[in-house]
Amino acid sequence: MIPRVPVPRILVIAGSDSGGGAGIQADIKTITMLGGYATTAITALTAQNTLGVQGVHAVPTEFVVRQMRSVLDDIGADSVKIGMIGSAETAHAVADELERLDVPVVFDPVMVATSGSVLAGADTIAAFERLMRSASVTTPNLPELEALGGEAAVLAHGCHLLAKGGHARGRYVVDRLLAPNGEEVARLEGKRLDVEDTHGTGCTLASALACGLAAGMPVATAFEQAVRFVRLAILSAPGLGEGHGPVGHNLGHNPYERLEG
């Protein structure tokens, strides 16, 4: 019998992106590249591409929960990553399930896609408070952070805050990791990349962070790995589509070159 090799298990609760650049598709690619094993509970189906979101079909709440329980009862999880949640009802049901777990939770409060399409209504955003209470780290971009009430409001829920700086202006992007007491645990500054192919960066960052935490990394180390992975993925973007194209999760690696060599 072949011995089992331990692998970090990450349960991803998020929506599907038909264009493959964000959502569940980006999560699975990221976790696989970083050596983890991704399982999923899909909250919504979207018809979207690099130009925008053409349609959203929410998965019934009870079926989202059924997916979670199927995975947890058999495979288990070493961390959980939450992305697009679909509805306020689903947010509360997911929070109920998370209260039974004792693993790191990364919550990416997805509200608007890179293209500008709205992916969460006001009632869903209001329900995010319960998910932040369950989260180890919440990872909003600057507009999302403002919608959640600012740094103090997020930290009041007892989670770390990864404040993403991509929406700020300036030559450098500053990503900051804050502890629940407001102390800055880590920060990374990188030269702003003059590119448009950034679809899926938020999903990718949160999944990379969840993968690091599942592997037992300290939160600051997982944060640094996640930010660097996203920057490499942006630089490896394959240039697909006519709008905001996807990043390159395989970091530019071409297996066919090795096969041919």
In a domain, 227, yes or no: yes
State yes or no: is 32 an active-site residue.
no
User: Residues of the chain with pLDDT > 90: what percent?
Assistant: 75
Which tokens sit at 232?
A: 């490499």
Burial readout 156-173 (b: 16 or more C-beta within 10 A, e: otherwise): ebebbbbbbbbeeeeeeb
Q: 198: which strand partners?
A: none
- Stretch 38-54: mean pLDDT, rounded? 95
Q: Which entry of 83, 203, 204, 248 is annotated as an active-site residue?
A: 203
Give yes or no for residue 4 having a pLDDT over 70: yes
From the list 19, 20, 36, 200, the catalytic residue is 200
Q: Over 60: is that where the pLDDT of 47 sits?
A: yes
Catalytic entry in 21, 165, 202, 212: 202
**Is residue 36 annotated as part of the catalytic site, yes or no?**
no
Is 43 tagged catalytic? no
Residue with tokens 């990043």: 247
Q: What is the predicted pLDDT for the residue at 261?
A: 40
Q: Mean of the pLDDT values across residues 44-59?
A: 93
Kindly state whether residue 3 falls inside one of the protein's structural domains: no
Give domain status of residue 2, yes or no. no
| pLDDT band at 116; cut points 50, 70, 90 | low
Distance CA 16, CA 191 (A): 31
Please answer whether residues 165 and 191 qualify as being in contact, where contact means their C-beta atoms are separated by less than 8 angstroms: no
What's the CATH number where 67 sits?
3.40.1190.20
- Indicate the average pLDDT of the chain: 91
Domain assignment present for residue 260? The answer is no
pLDDT in tens, 126-173: 789 999 999 999 999 988 898 899 999 999 999 999 999 866 677 889
Mean pLDDT of 182-187: 96
Flag whether 111 is in a domain.
Answer: yes
Distance in angstroms (rounded) separating the CA atoms of residues 252 and 231: 12
Q: What is the pTM of this model?
A: 0.92
Q: Are the beta carbons of 170 and 142 closer than 8 angstroms?
A: no
* Structural domain span for residue 241: 9-251
Mean pLDDT on 56-81: 97
Q: Where are the beta strands (DSSP E) in 128-219?
A: 137-138, 160-163, 172-178, 184-191
The predicted model gives 209-220 an average pLDDT of 98
Q: How much is the pLDDT for 107?
A: 98
Residue 255 pLDDT exceeds 80? no
Which has more confidence, 213 or 87? 213
Does the residue 113 lie in any domain? Answer: yes
The arithmetic mean of pLDDT across residues 89-99, rounded, is 95
The tokens of 6 are what?
Answer: 């331990």
Average pLDDT over residues 87-107: 95
Counted domains in the chain:
1
* Residue 213 domain flag: yes
| Catalytic position from the list 30, 43, 138, 201 | 201
Residue 191 vs residue 120, higher pLDDT = 191
Average the pLDDT over each of 29-38, 122-131, 216-225 and give the range with the smallest value. Answer: 122-131
The catalytically annotated residue of 164, 165, 166, 212 is 164
Q: Is 243 a catalytic residue?
A: no
Positive or negative CA dihedral for 249, 252, 256, 259? negative
Instruction: Please say if 198 is a catalytic residue.
Output: yes
Annotated active-site residue in 81, 198, 204, 248:
198
In a domain, 259, yes or no: no
pLDDT, residue 118, reads 52
Whole-number pLDDT of residue 210:
98
Distance CA(196)–CA(174), nearest Å, equals: 18
d(CA 102, CA 93): 17
The answer to whether 211 is a known catalytic residue is no
Question: Tell me, what's the pLDDT at 115?
Answer: 52
